[in-house]
């Protein structure tokens, strides 16, 4: 009975304080030669986000993302996308940590100086299952390794099987799991637990 009461109280407090617990799988790569460049059956070319392209793609359609991606760009993060016939099909962001402050990402990962993080990747629904996500991951990894990174991290929700397959397809190896707890949308706790093989 006490156990049941305790769970009820925790559940009610969690709702009141808007507490959310998220679990992620974490992957890592140490060098570009560990990775494989994927092929796609769709024609596309890579582009790099700047303020103009961010405005063209997101300003009208997704204003919140538009503001966030402007902040990414101004913070020095690199954003790449695949496009064909002037249509963005997939995109992703990455950064290498050199000891500077950061307003997004990496706060929950055990990054050390010279380590990179790939995040906020997305593929438009009509273009999924064509290795575009994997292509974005590889392209960002290539850029970061060429810019001096010695390790790159990527994480995804523990129930996102397509993303997990895409990450493994490129050659990232599983590192462990990460648990984040948010209160009122603010990260208040984060822990990365490595698997024994890592």
| pTM for the predicted model, two decimal places | 0.85
Query: Over the stretch 83-111, which tens digit does the pLDDT of each residue have?
Result: 999 999 999 999 999 887 665 554 567 78
Sheet holding 115-123, edge to edge: 45-48, 78-84, 87-97, 115-123, 151-157, 19-29, 173-183, 186-194
Return the domain boundaries, the chain.
Answer: 20-194
Q: Is 119 left (phi over 0), alpha (psi -120 to 50) or beta?
A: beta
Residue 71, pLDDT score: 92
Give dist(CA 173, CA 50) in Å, integer. Answer: 31
Q: What's the pLDDT band for 2 if we cut at 50, 70, 90?
A: low
Mean pLDDT to the nearest integer, 150-169: 95
Q: What CATH number does the domain located at 20-194 have?
A: 3.40.630.30
If one compares 7 and 48, the residue with the highest pLDDT of the two is 48
Give dist(CA 174, CA 198) in Å, integer. Answer: 7
User: Which residues have C-beta within 8 Å of that of residue 50, sequence separation ≥ 6?
Assistant: 73
Residue 103, pLDDT score: 55
Using DSSP's 3-state secondary structure scheme, residue 78 falls into strand
């Amino acid at each position: 009975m006490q156990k049941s009461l305790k769970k009820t109280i925790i559940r009610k407090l969690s709702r009141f304080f808007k507490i959310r617990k998220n679990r992620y799988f974490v992957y890592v790569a140490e060098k570009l030669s560990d990775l494989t460049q994927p092929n796609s059956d769709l024609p596309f070319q890579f582009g790099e986000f700047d303020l103009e392209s961010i405005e063209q793609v997101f300003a009208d359609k997704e204003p919140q993302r538009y503001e966030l991606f402007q902040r990414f760009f101004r913070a020095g993060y690199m954003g790449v996308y695949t496009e064909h016939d002037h249509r963005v099909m997939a995109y992703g962001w990455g950064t290498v940590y050199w000891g500077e402050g950061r307003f997004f990402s990496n706060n929950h990962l055990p990054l050390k100086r010279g380590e990179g993080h790939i995040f906020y990747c997305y593929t438009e629904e009509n273009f999924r299952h064509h290795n575009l996500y994997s292509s974005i991951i590889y392209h960002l990894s290539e850029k970061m390794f060429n810019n001096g990174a010695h390790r790159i991290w990527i994480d995804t929700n523990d129930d996102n099987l397509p993303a997990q397959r895409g990450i493994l397809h490129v050659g990232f190896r599983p590192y462990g799991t990460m648990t984040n707890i948010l209160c009122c949308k603010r990260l208040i706790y984060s822990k990365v637990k490595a698997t024994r093989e890592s």
